[in-house]
Amino acid sequence: MSLPGARMFFASRKAAPSAPTARDYVQSGLLAMWDGIENAGWGQHDAAATSWKDLIGSRDATVGSAGSWKDNALHCDGTTYGARCTTIYDGFRTLEACYLFNGATNGGAGFVAVVSSGNGNGVLISKNSGDFGFGYYAASTYFSGGPAIGDAATVVGVWDANPASNKNVAQYVNGVSITTTTGGNPGFGSGTAISFGARWDSARPIVADLHCVRLYDRALTAAEVAANYAIDMARFNLT
């Protein structure tokens, strides 16, 4: 029973915010996305999947002998590529990769992602020292600030024109601009496939958990790169 003149208050309830999903990344210009949580389709995870589903297009990557699934990543054991797709991809301008790096097993530098086009490859390379680079292995320019052994990071390359014809690339780690390579960094060599965790011919493998790889047909802005990194942090518990 309420007292005369008393006022009753009811606590307002708000729905808990939903966890971000692969659909929350910047969608404009998205060409392809391979996601470690949603590895079998939008909202689907299959621990026994034999291919890594391209959520946007048709370039599903066959899981190799070095690849196995964790709850949120394709694990690569460092013996060969973790997954590979033999269909090339032209016209991308931005390459983003979120991964936990546990070392290159051949020479201290290894391939995180190799994205072939009709004119060559867009390559992300990580070194055991923490240096990284976008380009052809033998002649790439490397920069500090990338993930060292045991580190998780989102590393991004944004080309200011088609990478096959223009080598200028802005590079980001964890949403922060690191440097821009202005010409002379050979981002492309010959190639015939898209591969993850090593080159398509098994060269330069890495031990890593690949959480997500995304390709865009345009140059993402710095704000968009930062927004995608924030989603990576929330989804993959990056620190």
C-beta of residue 33 within 8 angstroms of C-beta of residue 22 = yes
Predicted local confidence at residue 69, as pLDDT? 98
Domains, the chain, ordered by start: 28-236 (2.60.120.200)
User: How much is the pTM?
Assistant: 0.87
Question: What percent of the chain lies above the pLDDT cut of 70?
Answer: 77
State residue 66's pLDDT score: 96
Comparison of pLDDT for 141 and 170, the residue scoring more: 170
Q: 228: which 2 tokens? A: 């995608």
Residue-wise pLDDT tens digits, 19-77:
899 999 999 999 899 999 999 999 999 999 999 999 998 899 999 999 999 999 999 99
Structure tokens at 59: 């370039």
pLDDT of residue 11: 46
Q: Residue 226 and residue 204: Cα distance in Å, rounded?
A: 29
- DSSP H or E stretch at residue 226: helix 222-236
The answer, yes or no, to whether residue 2 has pLDDT greater than 60, is no
The answer for 103, left when phi > 0, alpha when psi is -120 to 50, beta otherwise, is left
CB 196 within 8 A of CB 53: no
Taking CA 63 as the corner, what is the angle to CA 61 and CA 67, rounded to the nearest 5 degrees? 130
pLDDT higher than 60, residue 97: yes
Torsion of CA 163, 170, 206, 84, to 10 degrees: -30
| Burial of residue 8, with CB atoms counted within 10 A of its CB: 0-12 exposed, 13-18 middle, 19 or more buried | exposed
Mean pLDDT of the chain: 83
In this prediction, residue 180 carries a pLDDT of 66
